[in-house]
Each structure stands twice: as structure tokens, then as C-alpha cells.
Amino acid sequence: MGTRIRTAVLFAVIIALFVVVGGLVGEFVFQSWLAGLIIALSLALVLNLVSYFYCDRLVLWSTKAKVVSPAEAPRLAKIVDEIAPSFGLVAPRIAIVPTQTPNAFATGRDERHAIVAATEGILRVLNDRELKGVLAHELAHIRDRDVLLMTFVATVAGAISYAAQIAFFSMLFGGSNNRSNVNPIVLVLALITAPIAAMLIQLSISRSREFRADEVGARTLGDPEALASALQKLETANVRQPMNVGSPAQSSLFIVNPFRGASFAAIFSTHPPTPERIRRLRAMKADPSYRLSVRGPSFRAGSTGRPTRS
């Protein structure tokens, strides 16, 4: 519940930030606060809609991941098939990433288009119990529609950035007249601080969703130690051997950040500190209620093979 409240508060803050900045820029550039909001949001929306609908293809292409059949990756397929019903999901497609850096991610805009990808390295490094903990974390992301959530946040953050750029070029090339009631000093401060604040909020929401997926996966599986043990191994391996495929812009998709070393500034990380994640997971074992599922409404398989509400 604490994670949900935190996410909701951050949502409210980033939307309020967008309204304020968009209004200032619209008033300064177009003498209309509404015009600024609409133009900035439209620019961000177009780019992020493309990302949302094609995110699975883009991520698979950039990481060189290959969608495989259960026969090609029987161990991975078996575990996904085994635990997916616990999350109310039909088992998603699986993919293998050709790198020895141990990691995993989930992508796809909804459960119908979901893909769970594992690197060759994670299949080599983790035992079955640890791998099950990692895959439960990824299925929690799918169940909670985190790709949709983060696309929305990215859209608002992008709109703030575009609004700031519009105002900057307007000031640079004299596109605004003096009829604006906006104080130029206030506008400059907003242009500098708002995009940075939006980025930090976006990263904070990403970290909150990682904590949430840890909790949902561990509680649904009933084995917090499985993920805790896996995270220890993954953190060490990814610091020593960062991933050589994909883009740092996609780091939030992975269960641990695969594109940095130990010196990466924590404030700009898409993931919470791994030691803190491990501490929270192991603290769950002291809670007698940790085995209680955090799933939503129950599901049963319908005639189409897709989950239907019971």
C-alpha cells in the first residue's frame, strides 16, 4: 500500500509540474496557457504512442533477443508455464538474449503481447529456485501493466521537456512579444529546473515499481528468499560485466540495471539499491502474513485459453 501511495503522489506531482510549466510556456510563447499544454502534450504523446505499441519489437531488436519455442528453451518455458496462473495470466511468450550478462526483462503493452526474456547468462548462473523468483518479478510487472504506467509517465515527462525547448527557442530567436505577463526570470528558472525534476520523478516512479514487483512476485510465489538470493548474484555479475547489447535508455526494463558499474549515481538510477531490495525481501520472512497472495480478482481459463474473471 505504501508503494501505491508513493506512486500516486509522484503521479500528482509530475502532472502538476506539467500544468505549471506548460501554462507558463504557453502564456509566454503563444499568450495562451492552453496552447502550450496542448502542443507540448501532443509532441510527447505521438512519440510515446509509437513506443507503447511497438515497444516489444523495439526492445527485442535492440537487445538481439529471439523469441523461442518451449522446445528451444524448456527450462525457461516450464517455469513460466508453472507460475503464470498464480498471477492470473496465460503464460507469455519467451525470448532469449544472446549475452552472458545474467539478467531478465518483461516487455509488451499488455498480457496479450507480453514477452518474458532471459539472457543466456541468467540461465547459466541461477538455479531453478532463483530463476523462479526472477520470473515471478517479471510476471508481476506484466500483471500490473507497468509498461502502460511508465509510458504514461514518460509522456508527461517528455511533454515538460518539449515545453521547455519550445520556450528556449522562442526566447533565443525572439519569437515572443512583450505582451506576455510571465516574468522572464521565473520562466528561465522553470526551464532549467522542471525537466530535471520531471526526470527525477520518472526515475523515482520506476524505482517504486521495482519494489512493487519484488513484493508482488515474492508474495505470490511464497518464497522471498528466492528473489533475494538471485538479486545478490545478479548485482555482482552485472557490475563486473555490464551488458554489451541494448541501450541504456531501456535499463528500467531489466530486473537489475545492466548498463552501469558500481560508481553510477544512485539518484539517476532506474532501480532502487539492490541491498535495500534484498533487505526488504528478507524482512518479509519475519512477517507471518507474507504468504498471503496480493493478487487481484481470481481468474479461470476460458474457452479461448485466455484468463476470464470468475
Active site positions, annotated? 138
Strand duo 104-107 + 115-119: pairing: antiparallel
- How many Å separate Cα 139 from the centre of its chain? 13
Helix (H, G, I), strand (E, B) or coil at 119: strand
Those residues with Cβ within 8 angstroms of residue 59's Cβ, 6 or more apart along the chain or in another chain = 65, 105, 107, 117, 246, 250, 253
CB 89 within 8 A of CB 117: no
Give bridge partners of residue 97 from the DSSP assignment: 119
Query: Which position has the grid cell 496480493?
Result: 294
Cell numbers placing 152 = 504514461
Query: Which position has the grid cell 506484466?
Result: 142
Q: DSSP assignment of 83-95, as one string?
A: HGGGGT-PPPEEE
Those residues with Cβ within 8 angstroms of residue 285's Cβ, 6 or more apart along the chain or in another chain = 224, 225
CB 270 within 8 A of CB 257: yes
CB 125 within 8 A of CB 102: yes
* Ramachandran class of 31: left when φ > 0, alpha when ψ lies in -120 to 50, beta otherwise: left
